[in-house]
Amino acid sequence: MSTTARPTPADLRDAIKVAYKDLRRQGYFCRSNFWCCGTCACAAVPDDRAAKYVFYHRQDAQDIDRSGWCYLGWAGDGRAIADAMTRAGLAVEWDGSPQARILVRLP
């Protein structure tokens, strides 16, 4: 009988970091556990980076610990962000709308 280790919150965070490296090469401002909420995080994005960013905030980080999934706040090309997350090994749920946050989780 084989045993497979269950994914951990750290595994999700590590995969997001891998995707962030990819996105930074594309000019994105990327942050984890960034500020307390979406409103504060968006306000804290530097003005010169406001066109291309992706983050999860502290409330999202709590979701990682509780549920194993995370919503991302973002601006820029949502498809490029979703693709980077997929390349990093994450499952992505997003309706394609620029108003919708992107959900990521381990498959």
Taking only the tens place, the pLDDT of each residue in 29-76 is: 999 999 999 999 999 999 999 999 999 999 999 999 999 999 999 999
More confident residue, 100 or 5: 100
Quote the CA–CA distance of 67 and 97 in Å, as a whole number: 24
Tokens 């706040």 -> residue: 73
CA-CA distances (angstroms) from residue 26 to 44, 54, 58, 76?
20, 12, 25, 11
The per-residue pLDDT for 70 is 95
Q: How confident is the model at residue 82 (pLDDT cuts 50, 70, 90)?
A: very high
Q: What residue ranges do the domains of the chain occupy? A: 9-105
Q: How many CB atoms lie within 10 A of CB 58?
A: 14
Taking only the tens place, the pLDDT of each residue in 3-32 is: 567 789 999 999 999 999 999 999 999 999
